Amino acid sequence: MNPAKAGYWLITVLAALPTMLSGSANLSHQPEMIANMKHLGFDPNFMTILGTWKILGGLAILIRPGATLTEWAYAGLFFTFTGAAWSHLLAGDGFGGAIAPIVFLGFALLSRFLSFARNS
């Protein structure tokens, strides 16, 4: 595997895997996740929807089922991570609370950028 392709896959896994793990935690309604969602001002029932889409989005950027669906998955990750960062800021968590979503947003954006280079 050439270095560019290896870099693409490393960054893509770093975007997809934490997203899918977080989605699993949302779906299982773990007490820590419920407390976090309440702190951010969201109803815990939202966790089921969010968890489902996180898992599907992570899978979509890993298996790349088609250009349109993959684009939607990247868009979903963008909305999820920017929404999470903003929610933490609005909840008074400061930059410390927003740093993880911002880092994962960076991985998702870099993965998308590298997929352009990979396909050209």
Q: Among residues of the chain, what percentage have pLDDT more than 70?
A: 97
Q: Are 51 and 27 in contact (CB under 8 A)?
A: yes
Report the pLDDT averaged over residues 79-106.
Answer: 97
Report the pLDDT averaged over residues 86-93.
Answer: 97
Q: Is 94 left (phi over 0), alpha (psi -120 to 50) or beta?
A: left
Q: What values do phi and psi take at 47, rounded to 5?
A: -60, -35
Q: List the chain domain ranges.
A: 3-119
User: What's the pLDDT tens digit per position in 23-35?
Assistant: 999 999 999 999 9
